[in-house]
Structure 1
Amino acid sequence: MKLKTILFSALITTMVATPVLAYPGHAAYTNEYNTKHGSCGNYGPYHSVSLVITHNTKANQTYALSACGCNGHTVRTRVELNGRQSPEIQGRNYAQTKSLSSPGNLVASEMHKIVN
């Protein structure tokens, strides 16, 4: 009886502690140096997509954020800068990440998804 309890506990712990490895979404802008705004019609209805990039040359710092919007739908977005990814943000009609920063004059990428 104790062995079954231990195995069951181990199974539950593994299920809870296992992260989701892949972000289910698609990119409109990858490895961009400048701010980009546009629309995307892939994988669902047309939706607006923005990748905002700011370079502070005096401080040698780059800032980036992403946004996605689609009226009547739940959307997700995240931004990547210098190998670091922001947390995934989900919202109804519109989602926007917080600014991510890294030293250097860098390029950034965004990823987004229409959930429903």
Structure 2
Amino acid sequence: MFTLEIGGQPIAVIDAEEAEARHIVENEGFRADLQRLQTDGKPLWDGQAPLNLRPATEDEMAAFDDSDDILEGVDPGDEDDAAPEEDDEEEMEVVFLVPLDDGDDED
């Protein structure tokens, strides 16, 4: 797992090998999403701040794992309730470490 930092702040954890994670971060669509998505009324990325990819810390990996539990309706940290894998196909996942603003405010 790798963490995307923007301007020195951890923004997202990417569950992928380094080359795949770099490919995601360099993707124009992903970069456009970083400029569109907001936290506290500000875009995650201004289009100019450095984007840094580094190995995720243990705390960041735990936050990633807890997000899977929340999405699956499992109490975070309760490993006995973990849902079984439905297929063996590996998917790259991105979990944001910052709260994202609700996009429903658009007129």
Q: Which structure ranks higher in relative contact order (CA pairs < 8 Å, sequence separation ≥ 6)?
A: 2
Structure of higher CA gyration radius: 1
- Note whether the superposition's TM-score is higher than 0.5: no
- Pick the TM interval, shorter chain: under 0.3
TM-score, with structure 2 as normaliser: 0.22
TM-score, with structure 1 as normaliser: 0.21
